[in-house]
């Protein structure tokens, strides 16, 4: 999870400045949903919505980390002169307030995760529809008349 966070922080400026990548190839909505199921936001990035994918990734990872840390006890161990370690163990008896916060964050994580997967599928469907409704010029050469024709087409 730390490696994913470091990668996200490293590549977030590039994702924010990247132009939306469009190709004429249609994207698979099922694949998009599956990608977002395993890596939050990856389905949106697959469909060209890089910023939306990065936002979903950060939100889901923050909710997951918050849920886990609510029920964890962190202790920094310094033994000897050079050994430094982080001891993480679950709390034996979390108080009522910590239980409520952990439950709220856990439910929010599950809801956001399902919204993420559904949004990835819908983003891919919108991407495919945007390819169908494209305004594009078409240049043809008519060999009989020995002339070029310029057409403007609108695909629906």
- The residue segments making up the domain with residue 24 are 2-154
For the cut 70, the answer to whether the pLDDT of residue 145 exceeds it is yes
The kind and range of the H/E element at 87 are strand 83-90
Quick one: CA dihedral 90, 92, 74, 54, positive or negative? positive
Q: How many C-beta neighbours within 10 Å does residue 26 have? A: 12
Mean pLDDT of 112-140: 84
Find out whether 72 and 60 touch, Cβ atoms under 8 Å. no
Cα separation of 18 and 40, whole Å? 19
Reported pTM? 0.63
H or E element in which residue 48 lies: none
Residue 118: its pLDDT value, please? Answer: 96
Number of domains in the chain: 1
User: Looking at residue 23, what is its pLDDT?
Assistant: 47
Higher-scoring residue by pLDDT: 87, 24: 87
pLDDT for the residue numbered 128: 86
């Amino acid at each position: 999870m730390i490696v994913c966070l470091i990668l996200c922080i490293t590549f977030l400026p590039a994702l924010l400045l990247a132009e939306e990548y469009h190709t004429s190839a249609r994207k698979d909505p099922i694949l998009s949903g599956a990608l977002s199921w395993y890596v939050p936001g990856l389905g949106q990035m697959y469909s060209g919505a890089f910023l939306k994918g990065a936002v979903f990734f950060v939100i889901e990872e923050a909710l997951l980390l918050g849920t886990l840390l609510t029920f964890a006890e962190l202790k920094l161990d310094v033994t000897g002169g050079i050994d430094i370690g982080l001891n993480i163990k679950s709390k034996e008896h979390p108080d009522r307030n910590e239980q409520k916060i952990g439950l709220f964050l856990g439910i929010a994580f599950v809801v956001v995760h399902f919204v993420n997967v559904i949004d990835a599928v819908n983003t891919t469907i919108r991407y495919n529809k945007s390819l169908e409704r494209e305004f594009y010029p078409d240049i043809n050469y008519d060999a009989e008349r020995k002339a070029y024709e310029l057409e403007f087409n609108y695909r629906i």
